[in-house]
Structure 1
Amino acid sequence: MQTDTIRGDGRYEPSPPAPQAPPGGVARSLALGAAVAAGAMGAVLALTGLDSPLRAPFTLFFLLMAPAGALAVALGRMDPLGRAVVAGAGALAVDLLVAQVMLALHLWSVRGGVFAVAAFSGVLLLGCALRRRTGRTRARRTG
Protein backbone atom coordinates (compact mmCIF):
# COMPACT_ATOMS: atom_id res chain seq x y z
CA MET A 1 0.00 0.00 0.00
CA GLN A 2 1.35 3.36 -1.03
CA THR A 3 0.61 6.37 1.13
CA ASP A 4 1.25 9.95 0.19
CA THR A 5 2.10 12.68 2.65
CA ILE A 6 1.84 16.41 2.71
CA ARG A 7 4.75 17.99 4.51
CA GLY A 8 4.41 20.77 7.05
CA ASP A 9 5.41 23.41 4.48
CA GLY A 10 2.57 22.33 2.18
CA ARG A 11 4.66 20.39 -0.34
CA TYR A 12 3.35 17.10 -1.64
CA GLU A 13 5.70 14.18 -1.15
CA PRO A 14 4.75 10.77 -2.58
CA SER A 15 6.03 7.80 -0.63
CA PRO A 16 8.51 5.48 -2.33
CA PRO A 17 7.05 2.38 -3.97
CA ALA A 18 7.06 -0.83 -1.96
CA PRO A 19 10.02 -3.12 -2.72
CA GLN A 20 9.21 -5.96 -5.07
CA ALA A 21 10.26 -9.53 -4.38
CA PRO A 22 12.69 -10.91 -6.96
CA PRO A 23 11.22 -13.45 -9.36
CA GLY A 24 11.56 -16.97 -8.02
CA GLY A 25 12.65 -15.61 -4.63
CA VAL A 26 10.87 -18.21 -2.51
CA ALA A 27 12.01 -21.18 -4.59
CA ARG A 28 15.55 -19.87 -4.65
CA SER A 29 15.56 -19.39 -0.89
CA LEU A 30 14.24 -22.90 -0.31
CA ALA A 31 16.86 -24.40 -2.63
CA LEU A 32 19.62 -22.44 -0.91
CA GLY A 33 18.39 -23.53 2.51
CA ALA A 34 18.28 -27.17 1.42
CA ALA A 35 21.82 -26.92 0.03
CA VAL A 36 23.13 -25.39 3.25
CA ALA A 37 21.38 -28.08 5.30
CA ALA A 38 22.82 -30.87 3.13
CA GLY A 39 26.31 -29.40 3.36
CA ALA A 40 26.06 -28.92 7.12
CA MET A 41 24.82 -32.49 7.50
CA GLY A 42 27.79 -33.74 5.48
CA ALA A 43 30.23 -31.82 7.66
CA VAL A 44 28.58 -33.09 10.85
CA LEU A 45 28.54 -36.70 9.64
CA ALA A 46 32.20 -36.52 8.60
CA LEU A 47 33.43 -34.77 11.75
CA THR A 48 31.54 -37.02 14.16
CA GLY A 49 32.35 -40.23 12.28
CA LEU A 50 28.78 -41.52 12.32
CA ASP A 51 28.16 -44.48 10.02
CA SER A 52 25.44 -43.63 7.54
CA PRO A 53 24.89 -44.39 3.88
CA LEU A 54 24.43 -40.64 3.33
CA ARG A 55 27.79 -39.68 4.81
CA ALA A 56 29.80 -39.96 1.58
CA PRO A 57 27.47 -37.99 -0.72
CA PHE A 58 26.74 -35.28 1.84
CA THR A 59 30.43 -34.90 2.72
CA LEU A 60 31.34 -34.68 -0.96
CA PHE A 61 28.62 -32.05 -1.41
CA PHE A 62 30.07 -30.08 1.50
CA LEU A 63 33.63 -30.36 0.21
CA LEU A 64 32.59 -28.98 -3.17
CA MET A 65 29.98 -26.41 -2.19
CA ALA A 66 31.51 -24.77 0.89
CA PRO A 67 34.57 -23.36 -0.91
CA ALA A 68 32.51 -22.72 -4.07
CA GLY A 69 29.99 -20.68 -2.10
CA ALA A 70 32.70 -18.71 -0.33
CA LEU A 71 34.50 -18.01 -3.61
CA ALA A 72 31.22 -17.01 -5.27
CA VAL A 73 30.64 -14.45 -2.52
CA ALA A 74 34.18 -13.12 -2.99
CA LEU A 75 33.57 -12.77 -6.75
CA GLY A 76 30.33 -10.87 -6.26
CA ARG A 77 30.60 -8.44 -9.19
CA MET A 78 31.12 -11.04 -11.93
CA ASP A 79 28.28 -12.19 -14.14
CA PRO A 80 26.51 -15.27 -12.68
CA LEU A 81 27.73 -17.86 -15.18
CA GLY A 82 31.35 -16.76 -14.97
CA ARG A 83 31.15 -16.62 -11.18
CA ALA A 84 29.75 -20.19 -11.06
CA VAL A 85 32.50 -21.54 -13.33
CA VAL A 86 35.31 -19.79 -11.47
CA ALA A 87 33.89 -20.74 -8.06
CA GLY A 88 33.56 -24.39 -9.09
CA ALA A 89 37.09 -24.55 -10.43
CA GLY A 90 38.37 -22.74 -7.37
CA ALA A 91 36.57 -25.19 -5.08
CA LEU A 92 38.27 -28.11 -6.79
CA ALA A 93 41.61 -26.32 -6.50
CA VAL A 94 41.07 -25.67 -2.78
CA ASP A 95 40.15 -29.31 -2.15
CA LEU A 96 43.18 -30.57 -4.06
CA LEU A 97 45.49 -28.10 -2.34
CA VAL A 98 44.24 -29.12 1.11
CA ALA A 99 44.70 -32.81 0.25
CA GLN A 100 48.19 -32.22 -1.18
CA VAL A 101 49.38 -30.23 1.84
CA MET A 102 47.95 -32.75 4.29
CA LEU A 103 49.55 -35.65 2.43
CA ALA A 104 52.91 -33.88 2.19
CA LEU A 105 52.87 -33.22 5.94
CA HIS A 106 51.71 -36.79 6.73
CA LEU A 107 48.61 -35.40 8.45
CA TRP A 108 45.93 -36.88 6.18
CA SER A 109 42.57 -37.72 7.71
CA VAL A 110 39.01 -37.26 6.53
CA ARG A 111 38.08 -35.23 9.59
CA GLY A 112 41.15 -33.03 9.18
CA GLY A 113 40.40 -32.42 5.51
CA VAL A 114 36.78 -31.48 6.18
CA PHE A 115 37.88 -29.21 9.00
CA ALA A 116 40.54 -27.53 6.85
CA VAL A 117 38.09 -26.90 3.99
CA ALA A 118 35.52 -25.56 6.46
CA ALA A 119 38.12 -23.28 8.04
CA PHE A 120 39.26 -21.95 4.67
CA SER A 121 35.67 -21.28 3.59
CA GLY A 122 34.82 -19.61 6.89
CA VAL A 123 37.88 -17.36 6.80
CA LEU A 124 37.10 -16.35 3.22
CA LEU A 125 33.48 -15.54 4.07
CA LEU A 126 34.54 -13.61 7.17
CA GLY A 127 37.06 -11.62 5.13
CA CYS A 128 34.40 -10.74 2.56
CA ALA A 129 31.98 -9.67 5.28
CA LEU A 130 34.61 -7.49 6.94
CA ARG A 131 35.63 -5.95 3.63
CA ARG A 132 32.05 -5.06 2.79
CA ARG A 133 31.42 -3.68 6.26
CA THR A 134 34.50 -1.43 6.22
CA GLY A 135 33.68 -0.36 2.65
CA ARG A 136 30.24 0.83 3.76
CA THR A 137 31.71 2.66 6.74
CA ARG A 138 34.21 4.51 4.55
CA ALA A 139 31.50 5.38 2.05
CA ARG A 140 29.31 6.85 4.80
CA ARG A 141 32.14 8.94 6.23
CA THR A 142 33.13 10.42 2.89
CA GLY A 143 29.58 10.79 1.52
Structure 2
Amino acid sequence: MRTIRDKPTTVRTDLLPVLAGVAVAISGVGVALALADVRSPLRAPFILFFVFAGPACGIAAVLSRPAPAARAVTAAAGALVIDLLVAQTRSSLHTLTVGGGIIAVAAITALLFLWALGRQIRKPELTNPADRLMKGIKKIRSGRFRIRPLK
Protein backbone atom coordinates (compact mmCIF):
# COMPACT_ATOMS: atom_id res chain seq x y z
CA MET A 1 0.00 0.00 0.00
CA ARG A 2 1.35 3.41 -0.95
CA THR A 3 1.47 6.11 1.60
CA ILE A 4 1.98 9.83 1.34
CA ARG A 5 5.68 9.39 2.10
CA ASP A 6 6.21 7.30 -1.04
CA LYS A 7 5.37 10.20 -3.33
CA PRO A 8 7.95 12.91 -4.03
CA THR A 9 6.89 16.12 -2.42
CA THR A 10 6.44 19.32 -4.31
CA VAL A 11 8.67 21.10 -1.84
CA ARG A 12 11.66 18.94 -2.70
CA THR A 13 11.18 18.94 -6.46
CA ASP A 14 10.30 22.61 -6.92
CA LEU A 15 12.44 24.24 -4.24
CA LEU A 16 15.03 25.87 -6.51
CA PRO A 17 12.54 27.75 -8.73
CA VAL A 18 10.63 28.92 -5.66
CA LEU A 19 13.81 30.23 -4.03
CA ALA A 20 14.80 31.96 -7.26
CA GLY A 21 11.40 33.63 -7.41
CA VAL A 22 11.70 34.79 -3.81
CA ALA A 23 15.18 36.20 -4.52
CA VAL A 24 13.91 38.12 -7.55
CA ALA A 25 10.98 39.48 -5.53
CA ILE A 26 13.23 40.63 -2.68
CA SER A 27 15.64 42.24 -5.13
CA GLY A 28 12.84 43.92 -7.05
CA VAL A 29 11.30 45.38 -3.91
CA GLY A 30 14.70 46.63 -2.77
CA VAL A 31 15.43 48.29 -6.10
CA ALA A 32 11.97 49.86 -6.19
CA LEU A 33 12.37 51.21 -2.65
CA ALA A 34 15.80 52.64 -3.42
CA LEU A 35 14.94 54.22 -6.76
CA ALA A 36 11.72 55.71 -5.35
CA ASP A 37 13.68 57.02 -2.34
CA VAL A 38 11.26 55.50 0.15
CA ARG A 39 12.37 55.51 3.78
CA SER A 40 11.77 51.98 5.00
CA PRO A 41 13.59 49.65 7.39
CA LEU A 42 13.55 46.98 4.64
CA ARG A 43 15.33 49.15 2.10
CA ALA A 44 18.91 48.56 3.25
CA PRO A 45 18.78 44.75 3.65
CA PHE A 46 16.92 44.28 0.37
CA ILE A 47 19.39 46.50 -1.52
CA LEU A 48 22.35 44.70 0.01
CA PHE A 49 20.78 41.40 -1.04
CA PHE A 50 20.31 42.69 -4.59
CA VAL A 51 23.81 44.16 -4.83
CA PHE A 52 25.42 40.92 -3.69
CA ALA A 53 23.09 38.17 -4.99
CA GLY A 54 22.56 39.63 -8.47
CA PRO A 55 26.17 39.58 -9.66
CA ALA A 56 26.83 36.33 -7.77
CA CYS A 57 24.00 34.57 -9.61
CA GLY A 58 25.15 36.06 -12.91
CA ILE A 59 28.71 34.82 -12.41
CA ALA A 60 27.44 31.40 -11.30
CA ALA A 61 25.36 31.19 -14.48
CA VAL A 62 28.39 31.98 -16.63
CA LEU A 63 30.60 29.42 -14.88
CA SER A 64 29.26 26.01 -15.81
CA ARG A 65 32.29 23.71 -15.57
CA PRO A 66 33.53 23.99 -11.96
CA ALA A 67 32.11 22.00 -9.09
CA PRO A 68 29.19 23.64 -7.26
CA ALA A 69 31.28 24.59 -4.22
CA ALA A 70 33.99 26.17 -6.36
CA ARG A 71 31.37 27.96 -8.42
CA ALA A 72 29.74 29.37 -5.26
CA VAL A 73 33.04 30.65 -3.87
CA THR A 74 34.05 32.16 -7.22
CA ALA A 75 30.63 33.77 -7.66
CA ALA A 76 30.72 35.29 -4.17
CA ALA A 77 34.22 36.68 -4.69
CA GLY A 78 33.31 37.96 -8.15
CA ALA A 79 30.20 39.70 -6.83
CA LEU A 80 32.27 41.44 -4.20
CA VAL A 81 34.80 42.53 -6.84
CA ILE A 82 32.04 43.84 -9.13
CA ASP A 83 30.47 45.84 -6.28
CA LEU A 84 33.80 47.30 -5.24
CA LEU A 85 34.74 48.22 -8.81
CA VAL A 86 31.38 49.93 -9.36
CA ALA A 87 31.78 51.88 -6.12
CA GLN A 88 35.40 52.81 -6.90
CA THR A 89 34.60 53.92 -10.45
CA ARG A 90 31.61 56.01 -9.42
CA SER A 91 33.56 57.49 -6.50
CA SER A 92 36.49 58.47 -8.69
CA LEU A 93 34.10 60.11 -11.17
CA HIS A 94 32.39 61.99 -8.29
CA THR A 95 28.99 60.63 -9.31
CA LEU A 96 28.35 58.38 -6.32
CA THR A 97 24.58 58.09 -5.87
CA VAL A 98 22.42 55.23 -4.68
CA GLY A 99 20.36 55.01 -7.86
CA GLY A 100 23.37 55.17 -10.15
CA GLY A 101 25.17 52.39 -8.32
CA ILE A 102 22.11 50.16 -8.39
CA ILE A 103 21.61 50.75 -12.10
CA ALA A 104 25.30 50.02 -12.79
CA VAL A 105 25.18 46.75 -10.84
CA ALA A 106 21.89 45.80 -12.56
CA ALA A 107 23.43 46.47 -15.98
CA ILE A 108 26.48 44.34 -15.22
CA THR A 109 24.26 41.56 -13.89
CA ALA A 110 22.07 41.71 -17.00
CA LEU A 111 25.16 41.45 -19.22
CA LEU A 112 26.36 38.41 -17.27
CA PHE A 113 22.99 36.69 -17.67
CA LEU A 114 22.90 37.54 -21.40
CA TRP A 115 26.39 36.08 -21.77
CA ALA A 116 25.27 32.86 -20.08
CA LEU A 117 22.15 32.75 -22.25
CA GLY A 118 24.24 33.22 -25.40
CA ARG A 119 26.49 30.34 -24.40
CA GLN A 120 23.47 28.10 -23.83
CA ILE A 121 21.96 28.97 -27.20
CA ARG A 122 25.18 28.26 -29.12
CA LYS A 123 25.76 24.79 -27.63
CA PRO A 124 24.55 22.25 -30.18
CA GLU A 125 24.36 19.40 -27.66
CA LEU A 126 21.72 21.30 -25.68
CA THR A 127 19.25 21.43 -28.53
CA ASN A 128 16.43 18.96 -28.83
CA PRO A 129 17.65 15.62 -30.32
CA ALA A 130 14.53 15.39 -32.46
CA ASP A 131 15.34 18.79 -34.01
CA ARG A 132 18.88 17.66 -34.78
CA LEU A 133 17.52 14.47 -36.38
CA MET A 134 15.13 16.46 -38.58
CA LYS A 135 17.94 18.81 -39.61
CA GLY A 136 20.03 15.80 -40.59
CA ILE A 137 17.19 14.34 -42.62
CA LYS A 138 16.73 17.65 -44.43
CA LYS A 139 20.45 17.74 -45.27
CA ILE A 140 20.30 14.22 -46.69
CA ARG A 141 17.21 15.02 -48.77
CA SER A 142 18.74 18.24 -50.07
CA GLY A 143 21.39 16.23 -51.92
CA ARG A 144 24.42 17.30 -49.94
CA PHE A 145 25.13 13.72 -48.96
CA ARG A 146 24.32 11.93 -52.18
CA ILE A 147 25.70 8.43 -52.41
CA ARG A 148 27.75 7.98 -55.54
CA PRO A 149 27.83 4.55 -57.14
CA LEU A 150 31.15 2.70 -57.09
CA LYS A 151 32.94 2.47 -60.45
Sort the TM-score into its range (normalised by shorter chain).
Answer: 0.7 to 0.9
Alpha-carbon offset, residue 37 of structure 1: 0.9
The size of the alignment, in residue pairs, is 123
Determine what percentage of the aligned residue pairs are the same residue: 42
Q: For 1:123 and 1:28, locate their aligned partners in 2 and report how far apart those are by CA, in whole Å.
A: 22
Q: Give 2:116's aligned residue.
A: 128
2:19 corresponds to 1:31: yes
User: What's the counterpart of residue 99 of structure 2?
Assistant: 111
Q: CA deviation at 1:22?
A: 10
Residue of structure 2 in register with 1:90 after alignment: 78
Higher helix share: 2
- Within a 5 Å distance, the mapping from 1:1-143 to structure 2 comes to 24-136=12-124
1:81-139 CA distances to partner (integer Å, 9 max, x unpaired)? Answer: 111110001000000000000001111101000000000000111121112212339x8
Question: Given the two structures, how large is their TM-score scaled by the length of structure 2?
Answer: 0.73
- How far, CA to CA, are the matches of 1:55 and 1:104 in structure 2? 26
Which protein has the bigger strand share? 1
Change beyond 3 A, Cα 1:51–1:98: same
Name which one, 1 or 2, has greater alpha-carbon Rg: 2
5+ residue gaps, structure 2 = 1-7, 137-151
Structure 1 stretches of 4+ with a deviation exceeding 4 A read 20-23, 139-142
TM-score normalized with structure 1 length: 0.76
Aligned CA-pair RMSD: 2.5
Mean alpha-carbon deviation: is it higher for 42-51 or for 96-105? 42-51
